[in-house]
Amino acid sequence: MKKRLCLLSAGLISCMVFQGHAETVKLATLEWEPYVGKSLAANGFTAELTTEALKRGGYDVELTFLPWKRALSMVESGKLDGCFPSYWSKDREETFLFTDKIASGEIVLFKSAGKSITFNTLDDLKPYTIGVVQGYVNSPEFDAAAFLTKQEVTEDLLNFQKLKAGRLDLVVADKYVGMALIQKNMPEMADKIDFLPKALQEKAVHLCVSKKMANGADIVAAFNKGMKELIADGTYDKILEKHGFKK
């Protein structure tokens, strides 16, 4: 009887340890304040939402900060499980599985405040040199517009520095990202850079998972389930408010 109790106890402990172990998901992200960043609380609101949603789905998160183009490449090759915050595109859907949205924001065109630029259609942008970031998806129409003059850099801040120096006429960026970069890195330009009222697109950001991962569909399902719970119990709104945003 004593031996049987010992075996039962050992089995129970093993079961408890197994149940307490969460699988780790290796994700890449980038410096993209105020959505995500190393210096932000909890690495930013999209990082906190993603981590919490996956945690509720039974996964821990291991986060690596990389340039976005490299992040996409490593996920595509299966060296990392996924990356965020990612815009959806038809091309990307061929390589990645996409979760439900994490959040959304407007993609706008920033300019020098004293410069008069009118934008109704993309044809109106033909006279201008426009800064974009390698690997970013903006809007399908804009990205396909080969008739526009676009200059690529590796990160948003470089474009704003070029705009300040007069080397660009326009910069494409998420509205909140652009404003945060200006306030943090060049506050003297806060009233000297503005953006056109017409947005290129309002875009949702997602977690995208490599199709090369055997459990990729499980990760997506776990995220979606966890995110629904966050929204239903009010945690989603609380996280946004903690970071200074509203749903």
* Tens-level pLDDT at each residue, the chain (247 residues): 444 434 334 444 334 333 455 799 999 999 988 999 999 999 999 999 999 999 999 999 999 999 999 999 999 999 999 999 998 988 899 999 999 999 988 999 999 998 999 999 999 999 999 999 998 989 999 999 999 999 999 999 999 999 999 999 999 999 989 988 998 899 999 899 999 999 999 989 999 999 999 999 999 999 999 999 999 999 999 998 898 776 5
- Kindly state whether residues 87 and 115 are assigned to the same domain: no
Assign residue 154 a region (left: φ > 0; alpha: ψ between -120 and 50; beta: otherwise).
alpha
pTM, whole model, 2 decimals? 0.71
- Kindly state whether residues 111 and 182 are assigned to the same domain: yes
Q: Cα 101 from chain centroid?
A: 10
Between the alpha carbon of residue 48 and those of residues 36, 114, 117, 189, the distances in Å are 9, 38, 38, 30
Determine, yes or no, domain membership for 27: yes
- Kindly state whether residues 113 and 72 are assigned to the same domain: no
The domain of 224 spans 23-103+204-242
Determine, yes or no, domain membership for 8: no
- Kindly state whether residues 70 and 119 are assigned to the same domain: no
d(CA 210, CA 181): 30
- Kindly state whether residues 123 and 183 are assigned to the same domain: yes
For residue 85, give the DSSP letter: E
The structural domain count of the chain equals: 2
Amino acid at 231: I
For residue 6, give the DSSP letter: H
For residue 34, cis peptide bond before it (omega within 30 degrees of 0): yes
Determine, yes or no, domain membership for 237: yes
- Kindly state whether residues 197 and 209 are assigned to the same domain: no
- Kindly state whether residues 180 and 227 are assigned to the same domain: no
Q: In what helix (H) or strand (E) does residue 242 lie, and over which residues does it extend?
A: helix 235-242
d(CA 52, CA 107): 26
Determine, yes or no, domain membership for 18: no
Q: Please, are residues 208 and 25 in contact by the beta-carbon 8 Å criterion?
A: no
CATH number at residue 225: 3.40.190.10
- Kindly state whether residues 156 and 193 are assigned to the same domain: yes
- Kindly state whether residues 65 and 123 are assigned to the same domain: no
- Kindly state whether residues 69 and 137 are assigned to the same domain: no
- Kindly state whether residues 121 and 192 are assigned to the same domain: yes
Between the alpha carbon of residue 134 and those of residues 67, 70, 71, 172, 244, the distances in Å are 10, 10, 12, 12, 29
Determine, yes or no, domain membership for 163: yes
